Amino acid sequence: MRESTIMKIHYGTALAAVALVAVHILMRLTQGFAESLEFESVLANYKFLPYALMLELILILLSIHGFNGLRVILLELKQGPTYEKAVSYGCIAAMVGLIAYGSRTIIMTNMGMV
Amino acid sequence: MAQVSSIANEQTSTPLSSPKTILLRISRYNPEHDESSRFMEFDVPYQRWTTVLEAILEVKKHFDHSVAVRYSCRQATCGSCGMIINGKPRLACFTKISELNSEVVTVEPMNNFPIIRDLAVKFEKLFESHQKIKPYLVRDDTELETDQKEFLQSPEEVEQYIQFANCIKCGLCNSACPTMATDSSFVGPQALAQAYRYVADSRDKGKDSRLKIIDDSHGIWRCHFAGSCSQVCPKGVDPAMGIQLLRGYLLGFRS
């Protein structure tokens, strides 16, 4: 993938994540922070499909943005074809792993398996 | 005739040496023999107009002829005498000692360049990067083939790039760039500013190929916009702005 395409995704995910995290924080504010962190309340949030989808989207956006940022930092620290390939594929693998693990939690809770 | 004689008398009565002196600290390093660099100190006389380069040449003439320094035009045109002067990348021929407001002047080789010896550094990487971005007008036709004989431009079209055409390839911007300090593959502000110089030229048709070259994992996106490249440029070029304008093309804000 061209670097400009990757960076467009990087900037886009940052902007979208800021918007969605703002919605997430506003929704927590309406509920009150102390109550919203209670176990039942968290489960209820995951079971409410639109909100669960938003949390899933935030997870994906932040994972893509964060791991690409990490890739960029690591590429600037050291250079070399083998190292760069390892960093790129390592970051993709870690990103997919985090999204899969987070999604598993969201999906299982949403389906009432927790 | 009498007038000429009086002028000659006046000139000869002007004192040749100045009572003022500065402590010139020169970084000495020979990669073939030395493990690390060290400073040698010299008391050098100077006048109001004495440049750092002149002070270094004074050292070579009277104290130690083995000091390695690269210079050529002595008028801030060739870009040969770039070095770190009192911690900042500058041209030695363009920097007057009196302007530094310091009793001590420290000169070191430029950062982010391999050292040949003392103050002289290798420019191969800079020239390679510069060559990579195709620093010439790319066209299918030539001025000889067209009826116009020359490719005319309006003053507005010239204004788009003329600032960037003042680059003298001295390497001070690359020396000041923090990304270049860590990313040895980074193309650098000098080459990126020159890429913009040709991309913004209305006569040029090589925009797409140049943008493709700089759209690399160690290309334009590694710039963190520290702005130090623009701060140190002795010719008023603003590479940081050029880089941001180039990004505009790649992000689709400019066409």
C-alpha to C-alpha distance for B143 and B150, rounded to whole angstroms? 5
Minimal Cα distance from B223: which residue of A? A76
* DSSP β-ladder status, B104-108 and B82-85: antiparallel
Express each pLDDT in A48-82 by its tens digit.
999 999 999 999 999 999 999 999 999 999 999 99
Ranges A10-24, A32-46, B50-64, B194-208: which has the least confidence: A32-46
| Average pLDDT in chain B | 91
The proportion of chain A whose per-residue pLDDT surpasses 70, expressed as a percent, equals 100
Global pTM reads 0.86
Best of A11, A76, A77, A82 to substitute, by most chain B Cβ atoms within 10 angstroms, is: A76
Give yes or no for B218 touching A (CB within 8 A).
yes
Residue A3 has its nearest CB partner, among B182, B185, B216, at B216
Does residue B16 surpass a pLDDT of 70? no
Region B216-244: mean pLDDT is 96
Which has more confidence, B155 or B7?
B155
CA distances from B11 to B18, B54, B180 (A): 15, 21, 50
Confidence class of residue B2 from pLDDT cuts 50, 70 and 90?
very low
Q: Please, which residues bridge with residue B41 across strands?
A: B25
pLDDT for B11 equals 46
Ranges B4-13, B76-85, B115-124: which has the least confidence: B4-13
Residue B217 has its nearest CB partner, among A3, A11, A77, at A3
Q: What is the DSSP letter of B96?
A: B
pLDDT for B215 equals 95
- Provide, as residue numbers in chain A, all residues whose Cβ is less than 8 Å from the Cβ of B182: 76-77
Does residue A83 surpass a pLDDT of 50? yes
Confidence class of residue B9 from pLDDT cuts 50, 70 and 90?
very low
- Provide, as residue numbers in chain B, all residues whose Cβ is less than 8 Å from the Cβ of A75: 183, 217-218, 222
Copy the structure tokens of residue B247. Answer: 């990004």
Ranges A20-34, A88-102, B140-154: which has the least confidence: B140-154
Give yes or no for A3 touching B (CB within 8 A).
yes
Does residue B247 surpass a pLDDT of 50? yes
Does residue A38 surpass a pLDDT of 70? yes
Express each pLDDT in B145-197 by its tens digit.
666 677 889 999 999 999 999 999 999 999 999 999 999 999 999 999 999 99
pLDDT for B3 equals 46
Copy the structure tokens of residue A63. Answer: 């994972």
Region B222-248: mean pLDDT is 96
pLDDT for B12 equals 43
* Nearest to B27, CA basis, from B95, B112, B87: B87
Region B204-233: mean pLDDT is 95
Which has more confidence, A39 or B78?
B78
Express each pLDDT in B54-100 by its tens digit.
999 999 999 999 999 999 999 999 999 999 999 999 999 999 999 99
Does residue B110 surpass a pLDDT of 60? yes
The proportion of chain B whose per-residue pLDDT surpasses 90, expressed as a percent, equals 85
Per this entry, what is the length of chain A? 114
What is the residue whose two structure tokens read 């039942």?
A40
Region A94-105: mean pLDDT is 96
- Cβ contacts below 8 Å, chain A against chain B, sum to 32
pLDDT for A36 equals 81
The CA-based angle B232-B236-B237, given to 5 degrees, is 90
